[in-house]
Amino acid sequence: MLIKKLISKTITGIVFLCFILLVVAVVISKASGGEPAFFGYQIKTVLSGSMEPGIHTGSIIAIKPGGDTARFQQGDVITFRSSENILITHRIVNAEVNKATGEATYTTKGDNNNAADQEAVSSTNVVGQYTGFTIPYIGYAMNFAVSKAGSVMLMIVPGLLLLLYALYSSWKAVTALEKKNTGTGDSDALPKALQ
């Protein structure tokens, strides 16, 4: 009986915690324009294999935004905005300063790509530096969570699970109460028959 109560409380806690975490993730994602940030680090989703095996397709990564974007050197991994307004995370293979403008530019390349990127990256397009923190495959879920369908699903599914669990708990409580009442009636009747 004690084990059943412990399992029941554990399941309730896990479902409730998942619900809270999902709601928080959706709210943070929406508030930050689709990409959550924690403790000054931005969480980005990687949906290409250009940086494999270091960063797997579908991973989430943490980047440190801001600072002097002209400070990066060869070997640093940066996240930058391409001319098509797409965020890309690649490694710097060459860093130089444009003598005419005085602006730092970077030649980048994905670790899994055969050749360097065609366009040089201006330091003004750098969003942040990759910190080395990555969690594989969570990016697929994060991408789904920030979509309209994902937001609705993440709000409805945990709520339905909580409702179903509440109904199940209520049914179990009613069943236990009925058994107790039935058992009490029999025990009252037994002493009377013996008298």
Nearest to 33 by CA among 127, 172, 171: 127
User: Which of 43-47, 100-104, 126-130, 137-141 is modeled with the greatest confidence?
Assistant: 126-130
pLDDT at 195: 47
Q: 28 in a domain, yes or no?
A: yes
Is 32 known to be catalytic? Answer: no
Q: 81 in a domain, yes or no?
A: yes
Q: 70 in a domain, yes or no?
A: yes
Q: 194 in a domain, yes or no?
A: no
The enclosing H or E element of 32 equals none
Instruction: Give the count of domains, the chain.
Output: 1
Cα end-to-end distance, the chain, whole Å: 34
Q: What band does 136 get if pLDDT is binned at 50, 70 and 90?
A: confident
> Which tokens go with 41?
């680090």
Torsion of CA 77, 34, 22, 89, to 10 degrees: -10
> What CATH code is carried by the domain that includes residue 142?
2.10.109.10
Residue 193 has pLDDT above 60, yes or no: no
Mean pLDDT computed over 123-138: 88
DSSP for 108-140, please give it. Answer: EE-TT-SS--SSPEEGGGEEEEEEEEEETTHHH
> Which tokens go with 51?
């940086």
Mean pLDDT computed over 94-103: 84
Q: 150 in a domain, yes or no?
A: yes
For residue 31, the enclosing domain spans 21-155
Contact (Cβ atoms closer than 8 angstroms) between residue 113 and residue 50 = yes
Q: What band does 190 get if pLDDT is binned at 50, 70 and 90?
A: very low
Answer with the residue of higher pLDDT: 185 or 173. Answer: 173
Nearest to 54 by CA among 126, 136, 117, 114: 136
Pairing of strands 126-135, 59-65: antiparallel
Contact (Cβ atoms closer than 8 angstroms) between residue 35 and residue 121 = no
Catalytic residue, candidates 8, 32, 48, 82: 48
Composition of the chain by helix, strand, coil, percent to 5:
45, 25, 30
**% residues pLDDT > 90 (the chain):** 22
pLDDT at 172: 87
Q: 40 in a domain, yes or no?
A: yes
Q: 141 in a domain, yes or no?
A: yes
Full-prediction pTM beyond 0.85? no
Q: 8 in a domain, yes or no?
A: no
Q: What band does 36 get if pLDDT is binned at 50, 70 and 90?
A: low
What are the CA-CA distances from residue 97 to residues 35, 102, 107, 121 (Å)?
31, 6, 11, 11
